[in-house]
Amino acid sequence: MANVGGLSGGMINANNPNPAAVRQPDAQATSQPGAQRQGLQIPDGSLVEGLVIRKEGDAYMVRIGSQTIFASSTVPLFAGQRFRAVWDLSTAPPTLRLKQADMAVLARFAGRDQHIAFALLSRGLPINDEVVWSLRQRWMQNGGDPLKLGAMVELWARGASMTENNVALLSWYMGLLPEQVSLIWKKIRDRLHGRKFSSPRELLEAIRGDDDDVDRFLAAHALACKSARKGIDPATLFAQAWWPAGEDETGKVMMARVSVSTEDLDGRRVWWLAFDVEGRSLGQVLGDVMTNGRALSVNLRLKNESKLGLVRDNLPELREDLSEVPLVLQYLGVGVSREGDFDAAMRHGLDMEA
């Protein structure tokens, strides 16, 4: 499955129609040019996520996973638009189909408002007149460019400012090719290799340099890392921040979906990093890391309860690895992941007096 800008260029979930359950992309796959046989690797009825390449007559050239395919759609689409829909093989070409309930929601809107409603709907975001009106106002202020709408919706979903600069940054980030992202991450790793830092701020200063692409990437990545609005599952958003998370036992590079936020507790700044990564042996692992620049709290959660014992047996090794970080480890634990774990209330706190 394809990675675009560290984001999903297209994903397929044949087993679960819940967008929040869509699996993360394969970090090593790339999209291939040219149309392939229709539905070659996509089961009928699958929930698919993809990118519109261009419109051709009454159909669209779309990229889903590693495939570039012709498809029709039950709603109008435009080039550069990301979508999430059900893959229907009962037609030729296959149809990107919304559920009847979703169609009913879209029918309430027309013109540009329908594009906005679809951008919200495809991400599982709330749709009401106030939200659509607010986004339309900002979209028109930015020139009404269809290619900017996706970035604007992503910024809105995070409560981030929809400035022209932020829209341009996130649009650029979402359009990066996998090899471009890999090259930028390599530059960042090279700058950090063998160095220790006393605070997150010092680490960021070390990463920044005279490379415009790295600086631009960091600025855009910070927007993609920003936590979602309260009550919105970050897994439903398209502009995910993907960080390299090592290799699995087969040597395959794993990518972790990450969101970062800051807050003030007891008069001190706290950084919170939430992550979600899936491997072959452990399955999906979620967790959060909290630090105030002096202490550290790490909480892991597994979807597969049968793997708890294995992870607990290896916590001493992880604790030893974390001892190399110049922060006091206050907490390290593992438990079972439950529904709603994306809520900040699930995090394990820090003792600010320690």
User: Contact, 150 vs 81, CB < 8 A?
Assistant: yes
Buried b (16+ CB within 10 A) or exposed e, 249-269: eeeeebbbbbbbeeeeeeeee
Whether the per-residue pLDDT at 344 is higher than 90: the answer is no
Q: Look at residues 85, 150, 84, 72 and name the one whose alpha carbon lies nearest to residue 115.
A: 150
How many percent of the chain have pLDDT more than 70? 77
Q: In CATH, which of 1.10.10, 1.20.1250, 3.30.70, 3.30.750 is domain 226-346?
A: 3.30.750
In the numeric block, which tokens belong to residue 88? Answer: 């229907």
DSSP calls for 78-141: -TT-EEEEEEETTSSS-EEE--HHHHHHHTT--THHHHHHHHHHTTT----HHHHHHHHHHHHH
What residue ranges of the chain are covered by domains with CATH 3.30.750?
226-346
User: Contact, 57 vs 79, CB < 8 A?
Assistant: no
Q: Between helices 212-225 and 146-157, what is the axis angle to 10°?
A: 60
- Cis ω on the peptide bond leading into residue 93 (within 30° of 0)? yes
Residue that wins the pLDDT comparison between 145 and 261: 145
- Mean pLDDT over the full length of the chain: 76
Q: How far apart are the C-alpha atoms of 2 and 28, rounded to whole Å?
A: 8
Confidence of residue 38 (pLDDT cuts 50, 70, 90): very low
User: Contact, 241 vs 6, CB < 8 A?
Assistant: yes
Q: How far apart are the C-alpha atoms of 121 and 135, rounded to whole Å?
A: 14
Whether the per-residue pLDDT at 315 is higher than 90: the answer is yes
Confidence of residue 17 (pLDDT cuts 50, 70, 90): very low
Confidence of residue 279 (pLDDT cuts 50, 70, 90): confident
Q: Between helices 212-225 and 164-174, what is the axis angle to 10°?
A: 100
Question: Mean pLDDT lowest for which of 30-44, 105-119, 318-332?
Answer: 30-44
User: Contact, 293 vs 308, CB < 8 A?
Assistant: no
Question: Mean pLDDT lowest for which of 86-100, 146-160, 224-238?
Answer: 224-238
